[in-house]
């Protein structure tokens, strides 16, 4: 798929003109009194509860140098990527309207952990003997784990797009993969492919990987909680006994295109978007030539052959679990859909989602009766399809529907109480979801208070399960967005880290000059369709007026064509709308929108 971006770029011309040539942002004033809805009060309570709990978490698990208090190791189980995840969702929390202190703590931790794991070195694992980070990036790992470690980094731009260090890092990290950095040969621009599943700031691994490369240096696991249940170091090695096939490209590498998206959206230049779309387009072409199935293995010469299903984390990857001796299916190809979602943000081209719909159809075409039940496969190997599960194949169904908003995709999205609310069947959902996140914070606080581990007896993945940041209900209710994370939030969604925010609306405080709703403001998205969004805004303060800016999409990619409120329609024709809320006032707004019509940016509305 060679992407023609001319039409898309033309649609953004008005937004790249000098300020004096653009139409002024339209102002909407809400002056009708509104009794404070319970969901609005709970939303503000949740923002405050998150801030308090995160501060207490930081005090316990991060030291005075802003480094994580853990036993430092290299490895896919419990390495630097897990350490980086300790403050997952803190930047997102701030971008929604959370306290500035959460952004500041998350920023401090990011800097501290970079120093921590640049200094941490292996003895036996060759690639990390001079540091687990080089040039502030993992030296060499797969993009399941690289992406997880970038979960915070990939959303920093929502809160601090003007930060020069963030801008430079995004460009530098992206250029590890664009081919523009001559010191790192991860990407082959001629063949439009990554050269290995294992890659990073020290380049690709171009040999068979060993269990040591994946598991890290020898250690005694007895004092630690081991995620996979290992009881000896040998079992950690055995977990990776079949992880050697890493040479060539793998769809997990597509997660690197998020760096291109953010580098572009932070003002780095169109070559970042051009690279990301060309690389994603190459994979779309490979799928089209492979009976509409995205292959999991591209050979070093750039070809896709009869072994298209091979590779670590591929369609045929079912390694043996050392503790049980049984094989476990670990196909991670479905996770790469999020990179194609990013392609739609960058291009406006729904063809990047169409290929996933066609793939689902091909897999369902292979369904057959298993013990009297029609079942669909989830894996493919030398003997054909396997990994049968009852019913239709629906993996990624929610993401396909969310992006397309096509009626024919709705069934594959499955059932979810949030969808029931958006479709008018579950009016209590916002309060139920917000209450669940408040309870989640309480549970995480209790875990922290009862935690008896020490830095010598906890691995880097341990604090992840205690991190109190709880934002799923806020993302849904405030932005109409997807909180794609681990564990998965819907039955058809794979668990994933490092995914940028995909949403209908986000908000800015033009007075405080920051991202997120102002203090005392709450927002609830009631309904989304292919061309409209309905949102209630309310000012809970009876004595003060506020202003906020509504933006279409996380990256301003959705054009707001018009706003209707109290029977009055105002033409907009841009990515932002300025709203003034009088004391104690609110209203329900209907926004007419053209989705994915504008070039993505993370710049604040007033810059």
Reported as a single tens digit per residue, the pLDDT across 119-131 is 999 999 999 999 9
User: Does 192 score more than 50 pLDDT?
Assistant: yes
Q: Please give the pLDDT value at position 491.
A: 85
Element of type H or E holding 561: strand 559-565
| CA gap 523, 541 in Å, rounded | 14
Q: Please give the pLDDT value at position 486.
A: 85
What is the residue-wise DSSP string for 367-432?
-EEETTEEEE--EEETTEEE--EEB---TTHHHHHHHH--GGGHHHH---HHHHHHTTS-TTHHHH
Q: Would you tell me how many other CB atoms lie within 10 Å of the CB of residue 1?
A: 20
**Contacts (Cβ under 8 Å, ≥6 apart) of 57:** 444, 448, 463, 466, 467, 468
Grade residue 2 by pLDDT with cuts at 50, 70 and 90. Answer: low
User: Does 22 score more than 50 pLDDT?
Assistant: no
Reported as a single tens digit per residue, the pLDDT across 508-555 is 999 999 999 999 999 999 999 999 999 999 999 999 999 999 999 999
Q: Please give the pLDDT value at position 8.
A: 45
Q: In the numeric block, which tokens belong to residue 237?
A: 């090695």
Q: Please give the pLDDT value at position 534.
A: 98
Reported as a single tens digit per residue, the pLDDT across 288-338 is 999 999 999 999 999 999 999 999 999 999 999 999 999 999 999 999 999
Reported as a single tens digit per residue, the pLDDT across 128-153 is 999 999 999 999 999 999 999 999 99
Q: Please give the pLDDT value at position 16.
A: 36
User: Does 11 score more than 60 pLDDT?
Assistant: no
Reported as a single tens digit per residue, the pLDDT across 230-288 is 999 999 999 999 999 999 999 999 999 999 999 999 999 999 999 999 999 999 999 99
For residue 558, is it left (φ>0), alpha (ψ between -120 and 50) or beta?
beta
User: Does 71 score more than 90 pLDDT?
Assistant: yes
How, if at all, do strands 576-581 and 532-539 pair? unpaired
Of 217-231, 294-308, 577-591, the range with the lowest mean pLDDT is 217-231
| CA gap 112, 585 in Å, rounded | 43
Quick one: which of 64, 99, 103 has its CA closest to 87? 103
| CA gap 462, 161 in Å, rounded | 31
Reported as a single tens digit per residue, the pLDDT across 401-439 is 999 999 999 999 999 999 999 999 999 999 999 999 999
Distance separating the N- and C-terminal Cα atoms of the chain: 35
Q: In the numeric block, which tokens belong to residue 371?
A: 């013990």
Grade residue 9 by pLDDT with cuts at 50, 70 and 90. Answer: very low
User: Does 12 score more than 70 pLDDT?
Assistant: no
User: Do the beta carbons of residue 427 and residue 412 sit within 8 Å?
Assistant: no
Reported as a single tens digit per residue, the pLDDT across 374-403 is 999 999 999 999 999 999 999 999 999 999
Cα R_g (the chain), whole angstroms:
24
Measured CA distances, 147 to 82, 153, 285, 387 (Å): 11, 10, 24, 26
Cα angle for residues 534, 536, 537 (degrees, 5° grid): 135
- Bridge partners, residue 374, by sequence: 369
Can you tell me whether residue 258 is helix, strand or coil? helix
Reported as a single tens digit per residue, the pLDDT across 432-464 is 999 999 999 999 999 999 999 999 999 999 999
Q: Please give the pLDDT value at position 401.
A: 97
Grade residue 26 by pLDDT with cuts at 50, 70 and 90. Answer: confident
Describe the strand order of the beta sheet including 586-594 as a list of residue ranges: 521-528, 532-539, 586-594, 559-565, 568-574
Reported as a single tens digit per residue, the pLDDT across 157-185 is 999 999 999 999 999 999 999 999 999 99
**Contacts (Cβ under 8 Å, ≥6 apart) of 494:** 332, 334, 335, 395, 396, 488
Go through the domains of the chain in sequence order and give each one's CATH number: 1-30+504-607 (2.60.40.1180), 38-152+415-498 (no CATH)
| CA gap 540, 120 in Å, rounded | 49
Q: Please give the pLDDT value at position 249.
A: 98
Reported as a single tens digit per residue, the pLDDT across 336-373 is 999 999 999 999 999 999 999 999 999 999 999 999 99
| CA gap 560, 573 in Å, rounded | 6
How, if at all, do strands 514-515 and 505-509 pair? antiparallel
In the chain, the percentage of residues whose pLDDT exceeds 70 is 96
Grade residue 213 by pLDDT with cuts at 50, 70 and 90. Answer: very high
Grade residue 1 by pLDDT with cuts at 50, 70 and 90. Answer: low
Q: Please give the pLDDT value at position 489.
A: 76
3-state secondary structure 164-195: HHHHHHHHHHHHHHHCCCCCCCCEECCCCEEC
| CA gap 3, 9 in Å, rounded | 12
Can you tell me whether residue 104 is helix, strand or coil? helix
- Bridge partners, residue 514, by sequence: 509
User: Does 15 score more than 60 pLDDT?
Assistant: no
Reported as a single tens digit per residue, the pLDDT across 472-503 is 999 999 999 999 998 887 888 888 999 999 99
| CA gap 255, 250 in Å, rounded | 10
Q: Please give the pLDDT value at position 487.
A: 82
| CA gap 275, 5 in Å, rounded | 12
User: Does 3 score more than 90 pLDDT?
Assistant: no
Give the CA count within 13 Å in the CB-facing half-sphere of 213: 21
Q: Please give the pLDDT value at position 20.
A: 34
């Amino acid at each position: 798929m060679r992407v023609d971006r001319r039409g898309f770029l033309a649609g953004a011309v008005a937004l790249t003109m000098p300020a004096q040539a653009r139409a002024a942002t339209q102002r909407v004033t809400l002056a009708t009194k509104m009794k404070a809805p319970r969901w609005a009060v709970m939303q503000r309570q949740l923002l405050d509860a998150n801030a308090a709990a995160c501060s207490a978490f930081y005090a316990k698990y991060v030291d005075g140098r802003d480094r994580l208090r853990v036993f430092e190791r290299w490895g896919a189980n419990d390495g630097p990527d897990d350490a980086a995840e300790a403050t997952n969702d803190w930047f997102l929390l701030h971008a929604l309207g959370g306290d500035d202190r959460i952004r500041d703590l998350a920023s401090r931790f990011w800097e501290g952990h970079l120093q921590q794991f640049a200094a941490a070195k292996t003895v036996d694992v060759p690639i990390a003997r001079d540091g687990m980070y080089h040039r502030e990036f993992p030296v060499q790992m797969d993009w399941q784990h690289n992406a997880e470690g970038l979960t915070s980094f990939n959303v920093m731009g929502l809160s601090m797009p003007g930060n020069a260090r963030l801008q430079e890092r995004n460009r530098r990290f992206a250029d590890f993969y664009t081919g523009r950095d001559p010191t790192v040969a991860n990407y082959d621009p001629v063949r439009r492919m990554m050269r290995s599943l294992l890659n990073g700031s020290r380049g690709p691994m171009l040999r068979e990987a060993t269990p040591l490369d994946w598991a890290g240096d020898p250690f005694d696991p007895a004092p630690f909680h081991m995620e996979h249940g290992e009881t000896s170091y040998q079992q950690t090695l055995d977990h990776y006994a079949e992880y050697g096939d890493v040479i060539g490209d793998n769809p997990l590498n597509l997660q690197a295109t998020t760096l291109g998206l953010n580098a572009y959206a932070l003002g780095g230049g169109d070559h970042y978007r051009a690279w990301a779309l060309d690389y994603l387009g190459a994979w779309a072409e490979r799928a089209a030539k492979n009976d509409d199935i995205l292959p999991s293995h591209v050979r070093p010469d750039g070809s896709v052959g009869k072994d298209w299903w091979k590779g670590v984390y591929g369609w045929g990857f079912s390694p043996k679990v050392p503790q049980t001796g049984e094989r476990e299916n670990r196909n991670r190809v479905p996770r790469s859909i999020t990179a194609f979602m990013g392609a739609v943000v960058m291009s406006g081209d729904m063809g990047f989602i169409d290929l996933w719909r066609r793939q689902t159809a091909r897999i369902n075409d292979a369904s057959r009766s298993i013990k009297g039940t029609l079942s669909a496969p989830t894996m493919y190997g030398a003997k054909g399809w396997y990994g049968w599960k009852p019913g239709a194949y629906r993996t990624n169904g929610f993401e396909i529907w969310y992006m397309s908003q096509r009626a024919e995709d709705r069934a594959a999205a499955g059932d979810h109480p949030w969808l029931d609310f958006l479709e008018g069947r579950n009016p209590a959902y916002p309060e139920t979801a917000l209450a669940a996140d408040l309870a989640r914070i309480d549970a995480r606080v209790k875990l922290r208070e009862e935690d008896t581990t020490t830095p010598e007896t906890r691995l880097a993945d341990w604090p992840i399960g205690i991190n109190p940041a709880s934002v799923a209900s806020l993302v849904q209710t405030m932005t109409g967005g997807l909180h794609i994370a681990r564990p998965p939030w819907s039955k058809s969604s794979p668990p994933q880290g490092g995914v940028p925010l995909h949403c209908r609306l986000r908000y800015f405080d033009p007075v405080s000059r920051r991202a997120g709703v102002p203090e005392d403001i709450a927002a609830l998205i009631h309904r989304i369709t292919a061309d409209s969004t309905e949102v209630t805004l309310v000012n809970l303060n009876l004595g003060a007026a506020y202003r906020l800016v509504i933006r279409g999409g996380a990256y301003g990619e959705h054009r707001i064509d018009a706003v209707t409120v109290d029977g009055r329609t105002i033409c907009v024709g841009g990515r932002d709308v300025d709203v003034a809320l009088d004391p104690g006032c609110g209203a329900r707004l209907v926004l007419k929108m053209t989705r994915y019509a504008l070039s993505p940016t993370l710049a604040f509305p007033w810059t």
